[in-house]
Amino acid sequence: MSMSSTEVLIVGAGPVGLTCSILLSQLGVANRVIERREGLHLSPQAHVISGRSMEIFRAAGIDEVSLRAVASAPTDIMGIEWTHTLAGPSLGRLNLATPERAVKIFTLGPAPFANISQHRLEPILLQHAEKARAPVDFCHDWQSMESTANGVTSRVLDRASGEVEEIHSRFLLGCDGAGSSVRRASGIDLQGPTCLETWVNVHFKANLREVVGDRPAVLYWHLDPEEPGIFIAHDIDSTWVYMAPYNQDELTPEHFDEATCRGMIERAIGTDHPFEFISRATWTLSAEVAERYGDGSTWLLGDAAHRFPPSGGLGLNTGLADAFNLAWKVAAVCDKRAGINLLETYELERRDVAIANTRVSLANHHKMTEVVAALDVPAELDAAAAREQIRTLPATQERAARVQAAIDNQVEHFDTFGLDFGYSYARGAIVPDGTTHHEPANIVTDYVPCTRPGSRLPHAWVHKGGALISTLDLIDRRVPTLLTGDGGAAWRDAAEGLGIPVTMIGAYGAVQDPEGAWAAVREIADNGALLVRPDGHVGWRAMEPSADATTELRSALERILPTGDS
C-alpha cells in the first residue's frame, strides 16, 4: 500500500470533475482527479452547453475557439422535428431560429450556447486540466474513506497494477455520477422518483444529411405506435444516438443485442441507408436530488447530487454551475481567507437550484405526451393501421394543426434561457437587501437582468483599454470585486483600504460605458456599488452612497467570506 496527499481529491473525470479541477488549479489549489473508467467517454452523452456554462468555461480560461471547433454547426441545431420515420414526411417542427430567440442568444451573455457532444468536450477539458499540472488518473477505483481531524483519507485501487493507495486530502469532491460511490459512502440518500422509465441508447455512425434533407435538427422524435424513439443528431454528417424506451418488466438489457438495435434503427430511419453500429447502453430515467450535498470535507457535485430527466438539457449545465460555485469557496478556505463554514453555503445555494431544475425537467418529460395525444390515433387500431394514420397526418389539415399546436407547447423543453441565466440564490454567501425582482412572465424561457444580491451579474459590453469586454470579465476569480461608477469614489477608497479589487465603470475611469449598456442593467445609482463574488453572482449591493462606506463594506465582506471555524 502506498500513501500520498493532495489538498483536494476529485472522484470522477467527467465534465464536472475536470472543470472543477481546472478552476481549482486556476486558484492555486493542488488537486488530483481519479476515474474508475479506462479513459474518457467514447460515446456521445450530454450535448447542450448553455450560455452560462460557456461563461464558466470562459472564466476557467478555456479557449472558446477550441470549443466552437467541435460544436455542431448553428444551422443544424435550430429546429426540433417530429416524424413518422426519419425519411418520412415531417409531422411538425419547433423552430428555434426565431428573431426573438436570436436576440437572447447574442445579447444575454458574452458566449452563446453551443451543441458540443460530451465525448468531444472531455478531451478539451482533460487537456486544460493536465496543462495546469493536475494529475488525472484513470483505472483508479475509489473504494472507501475515513474522516480525519484535518480532512479525509481515501482508499483507492489502481486496477492496472492492483495496488491500493491511501490518499489523504483536505477535501473530497464526489463528481462520480449518478451511482456515486462517494455519495453512498457518505450515507446520503436521494429524494424523488427513482425510476420513471427505462431506455436504451444506441450510438451509431452515419451521414444522414441526404435523409433529413432540408429539415436539419438536433432532435427527431420518431412517432411510432409500437417502437417510439428519439434521434439525437450530435453531427448530422457522422454521429447519431437513437434512444428508445422499453418496459423493464418485459425486457432485459440483454435483449438489445446488436441485431435488435440495428433493426430498431433501420425501421426508424425508414429507408435503406448504411450506418455503423458502435455501442449500446441502457439507463434509468429518474428525477432525484440528494437530501444533502455533504458536510465538512466531503461534498457532492453534478449527477452525484442530482439526477434529472434529459428533457431540457439541464443536468450537465447544473453540474458545471455546481463546480463554479464550490471551487472559489474551497480555495478561500484553503487560503484561510474564510472558515470552513463557508462551504455550508454551497448546499444552501445549489440544492434549491437543483430542485427547481428537476421540477422543470420532470414537467417537460410529462408534457411530451401531449404531442402523441394530439395525433388522436384510435386505440383499437392495429399497428399497421395506426402507422398509416400517423403517416398521412400532414394531409389532414385539422389534425396536423392540432399536432403542431401541441409541438409549439413544448418550447420550455428547448428554450431555457430563464433557467440558464436567471437563477438566483435566496440564501447563502450573500447579503439580502430586502428588495424584490420583477420576474418575467415565463421564468423558464425568459430572463430579466438583475443585480439583486444572489443574482448573476448582468452581462454588458463595456470598453477597457480600447477593447470591448464583458462586465463578467471584470470579476476577480479569487476574491469579491467591487463595481461602482464615476460617483463612487467613497466606495472605491473603502474597498482599496480593505484590499478588495475595484473597477469603476463610467465615462472617466479605466472602464467606460459609452453606449450605456451597463447603465441600463446595473440597477444602482452612479454612486452606488456592487460586491460581486468570484463566481459572478452579486453578493451585496448599495443603491446609493453610505455615511460609513468602510464599515458597511467590511460587514458585507464578512457575510460573504465568513471566518468561522477554519
420 within a domain of the structure (yes/no): no
* pLDDT, tens only, 232-269: 999 999 999 999 999 999 999 999 999 999 999 999 99
Name residue, grid cell 442568444. Answer: 105
pLDDT at 311: 78
Region 377-392: what's the mean pLDDT?
90
332 and 380 in a single domain? The answer is no
CB 552 within 8 A of CB 542: yes
Specify the number of domains making up the chain: 3
Please report which confidence band the pLDDT of residue 401 belongs to, taking 50, 70 and 90 as the band edges.
very high
Same domain for 102 and 217? yes
Helix segments in 77-144, DSSP class H: 99-107, 118-131
Whether residues 401 and 539 fall in one domain: no
Q: Residue 394: is its pLDDT beyond 80? A: no
Co-location of 332 and 438 in the same domain = no
pLDDT tens readout for residues 101-119 = 999 999 999 999 999 999 9
Write the DSSP assignment of 7-23 as a string of letters.
EEEEE--SHHHHHHHHH
Same domain for 470 and 555? yes
In this predicted structure, what is the pLDDT of residue 402? 93
Q: Are 314 and 247 within one domain?
A: no
Q: Which three cell numbers stand for residue 2?
A: 502506498
Do 18 and 123 lie in one domain? The reply is yes
State the residue range of the domain holding 137.
Answer: 2-71+116-192+290-363
CA 71/CA 83 separation, integer angstroms: 25
Which residues, including other chains, have CB under 8 Å from residue 222's CB and lie 6 or more apart? 83, 84, 85, 86, 228, 229, 230, 231, 268
Confidence of residue 565 (pLDDT cuts 50, 70, 90): low
- In this prediction, residue 177 carries a pLDDT of 95
Looking at residue 566, its pLDDT comes to 45
Q: For residue 487, with 0-12 CB atoms within 10 Å meaning exposed, 13-18 middle and 19 or more buried, which class applies? A: middle
Three cell numbers, residue 157: 485501487
CATH code of the domain covering residue 176: 3.50.50.60
Same domain, 43 and 142: yes
Mean pLDDT of 420-438: 93
- Contact of 344 with 326, CB cutoff 8 Å: no
How confident is the model over 37-89, as pLDDT tens digits?
Answer: 999 999 999 999 999 999 999 999 999 999 999 999 999 999 999 999 999 98
Closest CA to 538 of 526, 522, 554: 522
Pair 219, 338 in one domain? no
**Lookup result for grid cell 453578493:** 539
Q: Are 47 and 116 in contact (CB under 8 A)?
A: yes
Concatenated DSSP letters of 230-277: EEEEEETTTEEEEEEEE-TTT--GGG--HHHHHHHHHHHH-S----EE
Q: Which residues pair with residue 396 across a beta bridge?
A: none
Among all chains, which residue has been given the C-alpha cell 450530435?
234
Residue pLDDT, tens place only, 190-221 = 999 999 999 999 999 999 999 999 999 999 99
**Mean pLDDT across the stretch 170-175?**
98
Q: What tens digit of pLDDT does each residue of 484-506 get? A: 999 999 999 999 999 999 999 99
| Alpha carbon distance 136, 33 (integer Å) | 5
432 and 501 both lie in a single domain: yes
Report the C-alpha gap between 426 and 452 in whole angstroms: 10
What is the chain's mean pLDDT, rounded?
A: 95
Is position 566 within any domain?
A: no
State the Cα–Cα distance between residues 422 and 417, nearest whole angstrom: 8
DSSP 453: T
End residue of a domain, out of 345, 363, 381: 363
In Å, how far are 162, 306, 331 from 318, measured between CA atoms? 35, 9, 21
Residue 253 lies in a domain: yes
The verdict on residue 565 lying in a domain is: no
274 pLDDT more than 90: yes
Find out whether 128 and 59 touch, Cβ atoms under 8 Å: no
